[in-house]
Amino acid sequence: MPLSTADRSVLEPAIRRLNALRPLSPEARAALEYAMLEGLQRAGAGEDLISEGDPVDSVRIVLSGWLCRYKTLEDGRRQIVNFIFPGESCDSHAFLLSTMDHSIATLTPVVYAEIKRARFDSLLAADRSLAEAFLCEMLVNEAIQREWVINLGRRAALERVAHLFCEIFERLRPVGMVDGNSCAMPVTQTDLADATGLSVVHLNRTLQELRASGLIVLRDRTLVIRDIDALKSTALFSPSYLRLYRGGREHG
């Protein structure tokens, strides 16, 4: 459903993030903000925003809430292949391939801006910085996807869960969604299991191990990182793939 009124501040995560990837010209920023405000939408928790096989003809930019990309095997095994956080966009350029090869579900209530393909194309055509910002977003997304491959392929359960927490924390930070050493963690253990390729039972035991070693507190849908350095080192976490600092600006 469209939002009738909204002030510009809901757009902040998206603008902040894109601007960190590529400094946006004031005109590009204004044009994008205008387009986003016109396409504001809400969705409840646990909805499929779009499913495998569905046609794509717009871009959605998430403004608040968590989503996940996932795929399901014929026999029901599910794998979450990525999370989508505020400021990130769902399907930048995906319409070039016409249909989705995976599904996107909301994990919490979500506010997002939907921009139709033609509109999006003309926004990007009008401003190079904007086009580059969205390209950078795709590139970072690819890098995250690669890191997930390593996580699943070569890290043990404890490292794997620790790594996921580090990544989530560092991805939420630049959009202002962490508070000191804690952040929201509005997902079930089943979701975390599906994201880490573990069974729910073993994920639960792994969480207990992380708690027992004093690395984290996870309660009431809130993650508190008690010892970030220790967590990063048990995760073998090295954040460069997230491009958090001066994301490639030196060539820009």
Residues that bind a second copy (CB under 8 A): 22, 53, 57, 69, 71, 73-75, 77-79, 81-82, 93-99, 101-102, 117, 132, 135-136, 138-143, 145-150, 152-155, 194, 196-197, 236, 238, 240-241, 243, 247-252
The answer to whether residues 42 and 106 touch, using CB atoms and an 8 Å cutoff, is no
Question: Two tokens at 117?
Answer: 């393909």
Choosing among a second copy, DNA, none, which partner's interface includes residue 190 (Cβ < 5 to 8 Å by kind)? Answer: DNA
Choosing among DNA, a second copy, none, which partner's interface includes residue 247 (Cβ < 5 to 8 Å by kind)? Answer: a second copy
Applying CB under 7 A, among 190, 230, 233, 236 the residue interacting with DNA is: 190
**How many other C-beta atoms are found inside a 10 Å radius of the C-beta of residue 135?**
15
**Rounded to the nearest whole angstrom, what is the least distance from the CB of residue 134 to a second copy in the complex?**
10
Applying CB under 7 A, among 158, 224, 230, 236 the residue interacting with DNA is: 158
**Rounded to the nearest whole angstrom, what is the least distance from the CB of residue 74 to DNA in the complex?**
15
Choosing among DNA, a second copy, none, which partner's interface includes residue 200 (Cβ < 5 to 8 Å by kind)? Answer: DNA
Q: What does the per-residue mask of binding to DNA show for 198-217, with x meaning CB under 7 A?
A: xxxxxxxxxxx---------
**Rounded to the nearest whole angstrom, what is the least distance from the CB of residue 23 to a second copy in the complex?**
13
The answer to whether residue 141 forms part of the interface with DNA (CB under 7 A) is no
Q: By CB under 7 A, which span of 129-137, 162-170, 194-202, 237-245 interacts with DNA?
A: 194-202
**Rounded to the nearest whole angstrom, what is the least distance from the CB of residue 190 to a second copy in the complex?**
14
CA atoms of 94 and 231, how far apart (whole Å): 35
Strand order, beta sheet including 182-184: 178-179, 182-184, 222-225, 216-219
Angle at 28 between CA 27 and CA 33, to 5 degrees: 100
User: Toward DNA, which CB reaches closer, 197 or 239?
Assistant: 197
The answer to whether residues 82 and 42 touch, using CB atoms and an 8 Å cutoff, is no
Question: Two tokens at 234?
Answer: 């048990």
Applying CB under 7 A, among 52, 54, 72, 197 the residue interacting with DNA is: 197
User: Toward a second copy, which CB reaches closer, 119 or 211?
Assistant: 119
**Rounded to the nearest whole angstrom, what is the least distance from the CB of residue 136 to DNA in the complex?**
34
Q: Which residues bind DNA (CB under 7 A)?
A: 156-158, 188-190, 197-208
